[in-house]
């Protein structure tokens, strides 16, 4: 069974409270919050006050995807805002001690995770798998919702799955970007544990029903 983590990035922020209440009632396992700084990615999205507001209403596990430079500066603020999992980008930490940041995240009580972009060789992060609870293999270039799924993701996930299994690790694999019923079954088959789904849910006529259908597909 794979978990479904709706990304609210493409939802209507004017009615965010109602969206979070809908997600509470839904089959969604987590809520995925996309934090963008206009520097690591060419877009600015939500920040700490929004995570705090979501936390006040949400009964789901909050998965925060930090697409920001210098993530170590914001670990405690996001944890205090209510993040259950804090995911930092490998590419934002090339000149940093990333394992120290994973420990910093764990010390706050949050779960550490690492994300990699589609053009970073997946083998680059194999050595980090034992230090995090989850690896996010991006299936679009981060920055915007509604992009087309990149097909090479299947092979990248399969290679990572093989490494994790061969080394008897428990690291979860997440995929984010362009996920829909068209690719969800195959993603589950190659070993994805958590699927982030944004626009497919929030552009549908009945998001609650769409989540239910997606969940049935990967159960
Ligand atoms: C992209 C974000 C994703 C995105 C997913 O930078 O990290 O979480 O919102 O949305 P869809 O499913 O529309 O690709
Ligand atoms: Zn994301």
164 in contact with ligand 1, CB cutoff 6 A: no
9 in contact with ligand 1, CB cutoff 6 A: yes
User: Catalytic: 34?
Assistant: yes
DSSP reduced 3-state for 107: helix
Atom of ligand 1 nearest to the CA of 201: 12
Nearest CA to ligand 1 atom 7: 142
Instruction: Compute the distance from residue 193 Cα to the ligand 1 centre, in Å.
Output: 17
Contacts of 161 (CB under 8 A, 6+ apart): 173, 190, 191
Q: 213-218: long-range contacts (C-beta < 8 A, 24 or more apart)?
A: 213/181, 214/4, 214/181, 214/184, 215/4, 215/27, 215/28, 217/181, 217/184, 217/185, 218/1, 218/2, 218/4, 218/184, 218/185, 218/187, 218/188
Distance, in Å, from the CA atom of 53 to the CA atom of 48, rounded to the nearest integer, reads 9
So where are the chain's domains? 3-218
Instruction: Compute the distance from residue 115 Cα to the ligand 1 centre, in Å.
Output: 13
Instruction: Compute the distance from residue 196 Cα to the ligand 2 centre, in Å.
Output: 7
pLDDT for 14 equals 98
Name residues of the chain where pLDDT drops below 70. Answer: none
Q: What is the pLDDT of residues 78-107, one digit of tens each?
A: 999 999 999 999 999 999 999 999 999 999
**30-36 and 61-67 strand pairing:** parallel
Distance, in Å, from the CA atom of 219 to the CA atom of 129, rounded to the nearest integer, reads 25
70 in contact with ligand 1, CB cutoff 6 A: no
pLDDT for 29 equals 98
pLDDT for 65 equals 99
CB 195 within 8 A of CB 177: no
Domain at 3-218, CATH class? alpha beta
């Amino acid at each position: 069974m794979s978990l479904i983590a709706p990304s609210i990035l493409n939802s209507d922020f004017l009615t965010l409270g109602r969206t979070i209440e809908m997600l509470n009632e839904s089959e969604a396992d987590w809520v995925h919050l996309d934090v963008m700084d206009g520097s690591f990615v060419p877009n600015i999205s939500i920040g700490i006050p929004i995570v705090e507001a979501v936390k006040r209403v949400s009964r789901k596990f909050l998965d925060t995807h930090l697409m920001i430079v210098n993530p170590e500066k914001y670990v405690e603020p996001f944890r205090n805002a209510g993040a259950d999992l804090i995911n930092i980008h490998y590419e934002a930490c090339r000149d940093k001690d990333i394992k120290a940041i994973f420990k910093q995240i764990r010390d706050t009580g949050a779960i550490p995770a690492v994300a990699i972009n589609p053009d970073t060789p997946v083998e680059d992060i194999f050595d980090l798998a034992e230090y995090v609870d989850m690896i996010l293999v991006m299936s679009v270039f981060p920055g915007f919702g509604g992009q087309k799924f990149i097909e090479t993701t299947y092979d990248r996930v399969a290679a990572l799955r093989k490494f994790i299994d061969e080394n008897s690790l428990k690291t979860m694999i997440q995929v984010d970007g362009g996920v829909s019923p068209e690719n969800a079954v195959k993603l589950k088959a190659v070993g994805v544990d958590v699927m982030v789904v944004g626009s497919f849910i929030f552009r549908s006529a009945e998001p609650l029903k769409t989540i239910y259908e997606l969940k049935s597909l990967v159960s």
